[in-house]
Amino acid sequence: MADKNVLIIGGGVAGLSAAVELAVLGIHVELVEKSDFLGGHAIGYACKAIDNTCVKCGACMVEEKLQSAVSHPNIKVLRGCQIQDISKNHRFSASIRQEPLVIDRKKCTNCGLCLDRCPVDRAILQGFSKNNHPFYAVNKERCLYFKDHSCTICKDECPETAIDLDKSASEHTIEADAVLIATGFQPFNPKNKPYGYGRFKNVVTALELENMLKRSGGAKKPSDDKPPQKVAFIQCVGSRDAKLNHLWCSKVCCGSALRMARLVRERQPETEVTFFYIDVQTFGKDFEPFYREVREDIRMIRAIPADIYETEDQRLKVNFVNHPLHETREDIFDLAILSVGITPGEDIGTLSRIFEVDPDEFGFLKGEHKKMPVSRNGVFTAGTVQGPMSIPEAIATAGSAVWGIIQYLKR
Amino acid sequence: MTSPSEIIDMDRLDHTRCRTWPFLQDFCVTCGMCASSCPASGIDGFDPRMLVRMASFGLVEDLVDARWPWICTMCGKCENVCPMQIEIPDLVRNIRSRRDREKVPGILHKGLVAALETGNNLRLPKEDFIFIIEDVAEEVAEEPGFEGFKAPIDKKGANILTTIHNKLVNTHTEDLKHWWKIFHAAEEDWTATSENWEGTSWGYFTGDDDAMKVMAGRIVAQMERLEVNTLLWPE
Amino acid sequence: MNNTTLILGNGPCAGIVAENLLTAGAKIIIATRDDTCNFDGSADTGALQIMTQTRLISCKGSVGNFRIHGTQKNKPVTIDAGRVIISEEDQRMPNFSLYGLNGSSNVITLSQMKHLLKDSSSEKTILSEIKKVVFLSGLVKESTPIIAKDVMLFSLLLQKDSNIKTYILTKNLKVAGDGLESLYRDTKNAGTIYIKFTDVAPDIHQNDEDPVRIEFFDEITSKNFRLTPDMTVVDESIVPSEYASDLAKIFDIEIDLSGFVQADNVHRYPVLTNRKGIMVAGPSRSIRDVDDQRIDAENAALAVTGLSGEETKAQKAQVHDGQCIRCLTCYRLCPYHAITLNSRVVVMPDACERCGICATHCPRHAVRIADLEPEAMSALIGTGGGIDKQQTFVPFIVAFCCRRSAARARDLAVCMGYHLPQGLRIVEVPCSGALSYDHIFGALGNNADGVMVLTCHKGNCHSEQGNIYADQTVAQIREMFSRIGFEKERILIQTLASNMGAEFARIAGRFEETIKELGPSRLKKIGLSENSTPTKSKIGKRK
């Protein structure tokens, strides 16, 4: 099948996984990723091994798939690309718009000077893997040059002259015999929840904690970079919520939070952790022993806090009912972590229109058999675009989609 | 009323008793956000989560007879945070409405009866009300910058009609001055009314919808009489 | 290379595997212990062979060449296949004893309730007598979404269709499955009452005269309640089929703690095992719902398709006949079942994954992987460290890094901008199981001041055991060192994952500090010159 080409939209773990499976079978793959980095959200997740023992979160799997994907000759990666439209004769013809990749991957040596010198916070982003190359990217939403051309420090200081701020966008067409939609999810934005996210520095999302743990190996308070004494995990933020019409459980947050809780406790034993939940969901194969141990290690309270207020020194006052008692308590924490839910990706509307595929009642792209790929005449889905799932499950849906693609290509 | 050690036979409970109530209490996932947000949680054993569940179970008598459902201040924070959109304050009101009126705690019902009979909770006669308002208005007029200040009563065609909390013509008359000065500085065209001026509708707290309708109706009648289109009802 | 796939199983999952492979034009054999096969193979019989009443006994060979012995209708039979897919069904064990109950006409299992609900005649008889049903789920052992789905679905049917009052008593309600939160809401809409427990469980009594009596403290209302249901439904534990442990032994496949036929190791996801060419799908590998089973089946079919003789240039383990004494240590230790015994002990190259465990444990050094031998690695180690321009001691640190984890972590550390010790030398190995005493002594002989052995986390090793063996090796070396007066702190073992850049830097940095304090290794002064190669250790490698 060396004459066949598959277009994969989305370079997260599902897209990368599928790309590798197809490539290994001799099929050519063009993988189109919207951002400057491959790996989606999961590449930013930390290894949560505790007591030198793997906890099967799957974060290292993302790294493995990424490594295989960037090194396979049958896979062509296009970063900064989004699909605009698609048409089909006997093949698919996709029009792609490529945003300028300001940092040239051939010249960049990942020295990091651009990030060092950039005057604006988070205008230069870092990747999470050696296979994110270049390791740096210009964030056009915050970069001053893209606002009013007022700053060219990174370009001027780059020792390899690898930065071209004036590079223009381009458009081109990709021909493909089948398409896989693996565009992932959006983490719920908790800014409208009464927890002060976006206003109080020390309120972060679980994904931000993952990133923090991955970059530095420990939990830190954003306000002063010091380790927190008391940490609160608040579950189900944006999930199990009829008011938002998010009537689903995001499945993976309990596992993620509890593993991070134990990791924080292991790395920083003086830190106390409190876990606020409704129902703890099962994860992994050996849940019972893990659950038993975690309950001895952290305080678990079966109630969700309703308010967070900030103290003068940027600590957090969290109000919660002290289940099973009936009175409320106000405890002071240093860091609050909101386990935000998995919600449909921001491009679902566009994808839905382009591919004439209907989202389900909650906005995910699911097929008839719930998890089966939507195989609308050559269009398949994999990963969290279908709904909440773990990293191993996303890899499995990718394999399932690839199987479907192969059968489709053969007819 | 059940004591802590008593065992309630669930077979005797009819869980469908409250199913026709429109407050969605059956959808509770016991997340506890209501109780977490409630400023009165724990006072005298008040707990909105517990209240919702008891309604779900059909433990209506326990709720009606208990003192603690009267602790709720109707602030509405619980409903605001509830992910299942349960209308907890309305549930509380419904429970309160089921008590015999003589058993309504404190002065709430007595004040309500006074309001229904006289137009205000204090049974303050009309002349006394007008006297107090004018007296305080004179004091305001003596302050520099407020010369000529008058507190309008029954002014036809004003822009805003405002109700008055009985406290303001009883123990806290000084507090009248603050908002009067604001209105004056804003050159707002406002009026109070000489009758049915009472803003605190205790039927809201005692679960007495009929009384609330009457009081609201009276205020609306005042608006119609004075041809004012905007109502300011700080409650 | 045999292209036939042997499918073991007779349930829906096996059926989907078979269907998929046949559609893809593959040749398959379905073998089941049962008397009849449920798979409707109305397709081309040339590609499909069905074997019923078949039990397996042993499996020799490697991918592309499995020779499986068994019995069919109690007569010996041999099956030749290129690949095997294990997709036996699981079983549901009633949890009566967990709740202190005995099964009876009014204390039944979920499966029995399912049967009742399907059978329309029972609606008129059994269900018509019942007014109250209590479901007990996840009160002692945590439940799963599959069980929770059954519990909620049955409760919904009972409430809606039969107007029966239902109660669900559970600890954590499992809603981490598609549609379960909506189902939860629907059941409440229909009138189901949920009692959730956190730390304390309900008291459940059963005796002959009285109906089941359940007394509990409801945490939300802080009141005590009593329930006397007409029928009590007890949940079930989903466990591997009895045949599973037999199959695991027959095929020499790792099982997890619950007995499912797949190690709980991310490298095996979704359908692989430690034996190349043998896949496991569906209920055989884990608790999987119907949709997940379909996904597994497709992944298994894909895995079969992809196994068309991938060529690798890397050297595999080889047995040197002259030295081999057939102690069978390598055979027993090989995690991939890559060693076969004929008249000679032979390594099957297709199955060998170069973990090196055989080579490090062979008492006669008979089985070796040429490029992983200590002498070969010595060249990679080279020399390093010394004294820098400021006359400070720069420790020469050799870090043996598993290529899957620590070596990648080091790359990430560099990328992230962490500074690594100046005298750090990374030596990649395919698995830390390939590291023997000689490798570590060899590094010290090459003038290393300190040696780090950086392995995968427990449970994350691709060969499952490699890191454990490395751990034992290092522990023994450290113990030996402390007895002979050499600083055991010069040898460090630590687990890592491929995405732990920050931790790699921290570990390397701290180790460098340790070595700086200890100073240069005394072995440097004991006549071992830069260029000397370490002699082969003549000490027996007793464990």
- Chain B: residue whose CA lies nearest to C187: B27
Residues of chain B neighbouring C193 (CB-CB closer than 8 A): 15, 56-57
Give A135→chain C minimum CA distance, Å: 7
- Chain A: residue whose CA lies nearest to B39: A328
The residue with tokens 């499986």 is C68
pLDDT in tens, A168-223: 999 999 999 999 999 999 999 999 999 999 999 999 999 999 999 999 999 999 99
pLDDT in tens, B19-67: 889 899 999 999 999 999 999 988 988 999 999 999 999 999 999 999 9
Tell me which long-range contacts B61-68 makes (C-beta under 8 A, separation of at least 24). Answer: B62/B1, B62/B2, B63/B95, B64/B95, B64/B98, B64/B99, B65/B1, B65/B99, B66/B1, B67/B105, B68/B43, B68/B44
Same domain? For A293 and A367 the reply is: no
Partner-chain contact B32 A236, CB within 8 Å:
no
DSSP state letters, C274-322: SSTTEEE-GGGTS---HHHHHHHHHHHHHHHHH-S-----SPPPEE-TT
Same domain? For A235 and A280 the reply is: yes
Mean pLDDT, chain C, as a whole number? 90
- Across the interface, which of C165, C220, C225 has its CB nearest the CB of B8? C225
What is residue C541's predicted lDDT score, i.e. its pLDDT? Answer: 39
Closest by Cα among A340, A338, A336 to A202? A336
- Cα distances (Å, whole numbers) of residue C146 to C114, C154, C160: 14, 12, 21
C-alpha triplet A40, A46, A51: angle, nearest 5°: 155
For residues A79 and A62, give the distance between their C-alpha atoms in angstroms, rounded to a whole number. Answer: 17
Residue A50 has phi, psi (to 5 degrees) of -125, 135
The mean pLDDT of B180-196, rounded to a whole number, is 95
Same domain? For A214 and A330 the reply is: yes
DSSP state letters, A63-115: HHHHHHHHH-TTEEEETTEEEEEEEESSSEEEEEEE----B-TTT-----HHH
CB proximity under 8 Å: C 156-175 to B: 165, 167
- Identical fold for domains C4-90+240-306 and C92-238, yes or no, is yes
Answer whether residue A122 is part of any domain: no
Same domain? For A385 and A283 the reply is: no
The residue with tokens 């449970």 is C459
What is residue C381's predicted lDDT score, i.e. its pLDDT? Answer: 86
Neighbours of chain C (3+ CB pairs under 8 A): A, B
Residues shown for chain C: 543
DSSP bridge pairs for C94: C236
Query: A39: domain CATH number?
Result: 3.50.50.60
CB proximity under 8 Å: C 366-405 to A: 404-405
CB proximity under 8 Å: B 35-64 to C: 49-50, 53-54, 56-57, 59
DSSP state letters, A187-219: E--GGGSTT-BTTBTTEEEHHHHHHHHHHHSS-
B84 CB near a chain A CB, below 8 Å?
A: yes
Q: How many CA atoms lie within 13 A of B32 on its CB side?
A: 29
A157 CB near a chain C CB, below 8 Å?
A: no
Partner-chain contact C226 B5, CB within 8 Å:
no
B40 CB near a chain A CB, below 8 Å?
A: no
- Across the interface, which of B41, B42, B83 has its CB nearest the CB of A241? B83
What is residue B20's predicted lDDT score, i.e. its pLDDT? Answer: 87
C224 CB near a chain B CB, below 8 Å?
A: yes
Partner-chain contact A326 B45, CB within 8 Å:
yes
Alpha helices (H) in C144-241, listed in sequence order: 145-162, 180-190
What CATH number matches the domain at C373-524, 3.40.50, 3.30.60, 3.10.450, 1.10.287? 3.40.50
Q: Which two tokens mark C515? A: 């070595």
Q: Is C155 in a helix, a strand, or coil?
A: helix
What is residue C343's predicted lDDT score, i.e. its pLDDT? Answer: 85
- Across the interface, which of B27, B30, B42 has its CB nearest the CB of A326? B42
- Across the interface, which of A215, A247, A410 has its CB nearest the CB of C181? A247
Based on C-alpha coordinates, what's the Rg of chain B?
Answer: 22
Domains in chain B (CATH in brackets) are 10-99 (1.10.1060.10), 108-232 (no CATH)
Closest by Cα among B202, B160, B201 to B180? B160
What is residue A373's predicted lDDT score, i.e. its pLDDT? Answer: 53
pLDDT in tens, A321-331: 999 888 899 99
Residues of the domain holding A243: 188-341
For residues C122 and B100, give the distance between their C-alpha atoms in angstroms, rounded to a whole number. Answer: 48
ipTM of the complex: 0.94
- Chain C: residue whose CA lies nearest to B58: C193
What is residue A327's predicted lDDT score, i.e. its pLDDT? Answer: 86
Q: How many CB atoms lie within 10 A of CB A361?
A: 11
Identity at A409, one-letter amino acid code? L
Same domain? For A75 and A16 the reply is: yes
pLDDT in tens, C31-67: 999 999 998 866 556 889 999 999 999 999 999 999 9
Name the CATH superfamily for C92-238: FAD/NAD(P)-binding domain (3.50.50.60)
Mutate to test the interface with B, among C220, C222, C228, C231 (most CBs of B within 10 A): C220
Same domain? For A85 and A67 the reply is: yes
Q: How many CA atoms lie within 13 A of A353 on its CB side?
A: 6
A21 CB near a chain C CB, below 8 Å?
A: yes
pLDDT in tens, C501-538: 999 999 999 999 999 999 999 887 664 444 444 444 43
For residues C90 and C472, give the distance between their C-alpha atoms in angstroms, rounded to a whole number. Answer: 36
Partner-chain contact C185 A242, CB within 8 Å:
yes
The mean pLDDT of A390-397, rounded to a whole number, is 96
Element (H, E) at B192: none
Closest by Cα among B179, B181, B193 to B234? B179
A304 CB near a chain C CB, below 8 Å?
A: no
pLDDT in tens, A275-284: 999 999 999 8
The residue with tokens 């074997």 is C51
What is residue C378's predicted lDDT score, i.e. its pLDDT? Answer: 85
Q: Is residue C32 within 8 Å of residue C54, measured between CB atoms? A: yes
- Across the interface, which of C142, C266, C496 has its CB nearest the CB of A287? C142
DSSP bridge pairs for A370: A367
Residues of chain C neighbouring A283 (CB-CB closer than 8 A): 176
A282 CB near a chain C CB, below 8 Å?
A: yes
Q: Is A13 in a helix, a strand, or coil?
A: helix
B31 CB near a chain A CB, below 8 Å?
A: yes
Give C168→chain A minimum CA distance, Å: 14
Q: Between the CA atoms of C268, C271, C274 and C278, what dihedral angle is there, to the nearest 10 degrees? A: -170
Per-residue confidence band for A376, with pLDDT thresholds at 50, 70 and 90? low
Residues of chain B neighbouring C132 (CB-CB closer than 8 A): 11
What is residue C385's predicted lDDT score, i.e. its pLDDT? Answer: 74
Percent of chain C residues topping a pLDDT of 70: 94
- Cα distances (Å, whole numbers) of residue C413 to A111, C204, C251, C437, C507: 13, 56, 40, 28, 11
C299 CB near a chain A CB, below 8 Å?
A: yes
B3 CB near a chain C CB, below 8 Å?
A: no
Q: Is C216 in a helix, a strand, or coil?
A: strand
How distant is the alpha carbon of residue A23 from its chain centre? 24
For residues A138 and A154, give the distance between their C-alpha atoms in angstroms, rounded to a whole number. Answer: 9
What is residue C529's predicted lDDT score, i.e. its pLDDT? Answer: 47
Same domain? For A226 and A350 the reply is: no
Residues of chain B neighbouring C223 (CB-CB closer than 8 A): 2, 4, 6, 8
How distant is the alpha carbon of residue A31 from its chain centre? 17
Mean pLDDT, chain A, as a whole number? 93
pLDDT in tens, B84-100: 999 999 999 999 999 99
- Percent of chain C as helix, strand, coil, to the nearest 5: 35, 25, 40
What is residue A250's predicted lDDT score, i.e. its pLDDT? Answer: 97
Same domain? For A173 and A277 the reply is: no
Element (H, E) at A394: helix A391-410
Same domain? For A268 and A328 the reply is: yes
Give B202→chain C minimum CA distance, Å: 28
Residues of chain A neighbouring C294 (CB-CB closer than 8 A): 369, 371-372, 400
Return the CATH fold of C4-90+240-306: FAD/NAD(P)-binding domain (3.50.50)
Spelled out in words, what is the top-level CATH class assigned to the domain C318-369? alpha beta
Q: Kindly provide the b/e burial profile for residues A329-349, where b requires at least 16 CB atoms within 10 angstroms of the residue's own CB.
A: bebebbbbbbbbbbbbbebbe
pLDDT in tens, C63-87: 999 999 999 999 999 999 999 999 9
- Cα distances (Å, whole numbers) of residue C154 to A161, A279, C124, C194, C239: 67, 21, 17, 14, 21
- Cα distances (Å, whole numbers) of residue B156 to B136, B153, B193: 22, 9, 10
Q: Is residue B65 within 8 Å of residue B100, measured between CB atoms? A: no
How distant is the alpha carbon of residue C151 from its chain centre? 29
Q: Which two tokens mark B48? A: 């909105």
Percent of chain B residues topping a pLDDT of 70: 98
Residues of chain C falling short of pLDDT 50: 527-543
pLDDT in tens, C302-317: 999 876 555 667 889 9
Mutate to test the interface with A, among B36, B47, B54 (most CBs of A within 10 A): B36
Give B226→chain A minimum CA distance, Å: 41
What is residue A370's predicted lDDT score, i.e. its pLDDT? Answer: 45
Residues 6+ positions from A357 with CB-CB distance below 8 Å: A181, A351, A365, A374, A376, A379, A381
The residue with tokens 């893990």 is A290
| Count of domains observed in chain A | 2
Instruction: Give the residue extent of every domain in chain C.
Output: 4-90+240-306, 92-238, 318-369, 373-524
What is residue C129's predicted lDDT score, i.e. its pLDDT? Answer: 86
Same domain? For A230 and A320 the reply is: yes
Residues 6+ positions from C437 with CB-CB distance below 8 Å: C473, C476, C477, C537, C539, C541
Contacts across the A-B interface (CB distance below 8 Å): 71
Domain end position, chosen among A291, A309, A341? A341
Give B235→chain A minimum CA distance, Å: 24
Partner-chain contact B36 A306, CB within 8 Å:
yes
Give C222→chain B minimum CA distance, Å: 8
Residues of chain A neighbouring B23 (CB-CB closer than 8 A): none
> How far apart are the two ends of chain A, measured CA to CA in Å?
12
Answer whether residue A106 is part of any domain: no
B173 CB near a chain A CB, below 8 Å?
A: no
A362 CB near a chain C CB, below 8 Å?
A: no
Same domain? For A199 and A308 the reply is: yes
Residues 6+ positions from B10 with CB-CB distance below 8 Å: B57, C167, C225, C226, C227
Packed helices A391-410 and A13-24: angle between N→C axes, nearest 10 degrees: 40
Same domain? For A379 and A265 the reply is: no
pLDDT in tens, C277-287: 999 999 999 99
Answer whether residue A136 is part of any domain: no
Give A289→chain C minimum CA distance, Å: 11
